[in-house]
Structure 1
């Protein structure tokens, strides 16, 4: 896919016929921000009514694989979104935040000196399989027609409905215990899995607290992050060539 894009992606590409653009979403951007950016690029190329959508939301504080569907490829959104995802999660033990990530400051601290690498690996293995997960209150889940985060920001109590997810594998990539409470975990999971909630549950199972300090989606279905396009590269490929200035021979 990437070789195809590198070779054939250009301003005169037949986008209406359909194209899946694997984008490496930058930090701080919402998934909708990326869709708007691609839609703007399409309009500059004259595709004013072309459809653009994404297959699988990434939080603003997450980076990595975001599949942008253009033209007829928007019909593939549900299929692409249903495929398994792989994440690299940076987690700090011993502290929680209301959003389970760095969107909010730490609200509670917990002991973590009792936690060992062996215990972390044992608990991680227990996450594998089908299970029910409670989504974060600060999420885009809809409750009675409103987003859950709207209730949370207004200070209202919210009862989140548990969702069935599947975690296929977990692997402890780095562990700074016992000198530091920081971990990096690779997680392969199903659609609908909240890695922020995974971090929350990991902390609880370790008789402590935990929150995400970084998150990168490294794969979505068959699309890997090392084969994704940056927005800068995409814009460069879709920029019309500068007009040639003819000069009169002397």
Structure 2
């Protein structure tokens, strides 16, 4: 019995895909949720490998997950775990993050970004670069931050942003401690700026550039490279960051076990 030329290719790709384990960075585009981004990635990989998705006793064809939500109005680095790498994703949530933010002076919206309805407009001609830099200082260090209602935080399993858009009465979450290590004004061209001042403003652009040991660079896979081979290559170049995450996770598990022993 002879096999057809190329008949083994789908099987080889399926085997290759299901053997992948680890963490790798992708670029989440603007205008799509992190969950949708992950579903798109997963669908592409399963289609390339000739596999169908199924759920049987909570066991998926391909285990894949991400290590920290980016809102639909944000873009940038999203750390993805594949196979056993999904067990390391918890460590990504505890690492530091970096963002590049562009704001627009003179305009406030109900969502705090450009997707919302304008609620206020004020002049901003009196604001100079030095004003921005002074305000930056007040937002650094250990501070209390009140999470915005339009965010990925959840109430009873549903996102606050979805509840607000549905017209539900939603109370603001209590302020929580956060650490801002550094804020820097990299460009000032009014009305564009990086933080709010004594005017009104909204976020024009938000890009995540770092999460844990991963940074937004050439290794970050954009949509045109969401395929089995590019992910396999990315996993090889990301072995060290993945190992760091794994060690951090193991240490946390050891501490938790000791506390409950």
TM-score bucket of the superposed structures, by smaller chain:
0.7 to 0.9
Distance in 2 (alpha carbons) for counterparts of 1:72 and 1:236: 16
What TM-score do you get using the length of structure 2 for normalisation? 0.72
Tell me the equivalent position of 1:228.
Answer: 220
Tell me the equivalent position of 2:140.
Answer: 128
Q: Structure 1 47/238 Cα, relative in aligned 2: closer, same or farther at 3 Å?
A: farther
Q: Structure 1 78/132 Cα, relative in aligned 2: closer, same or farther at 3 Å?
A: same
RMSD: 2.3
What TM-score do you get using the length of structure 1 for normalisation? 0.75
Structure 1 alignment gaps of length 5 or more: 1-9, 186-201, 240-250
Match of 1:160 among 172, 178, 181: 172
Asked whether 1:82 is paired with 2:94, we answer: yes
Distance in 2 (alpha carbons) for counterparts of 1:82 and 1:144: 23
Asked whether 1:181 is paired with 2:191, we answer: yes
Could you report, residue by residue, the CA deviation over 1:101-144 in whole angstroms, capped at 9, with x for unpaired residues?
A: 12213221123222111111011012111222111111222224
Deviation at residue 15 of structure 1 after TM alignment = 4.2
Q: Structure 1 38/154 Cα, relative in aligned 2: closer, same or farther at 3 Å?
A: closer
Structure 2 alignment gaps of length 5 or more: 1-11, 54-60, 232-261
Q: Structure 1 228/238 Cα, relative in aligned 2: closer, same or farther at 3 Å?
A: closer
Deviation at residue 14 of structure 1 after TM alignment = 5.5
More helix by share: 2
More strand by share: 1
Distance in 2 (alpha carbons) for counterparts of 1:216 and 1:146: 24
Asked whether 1:71 is paired with 2:72, we answer: no
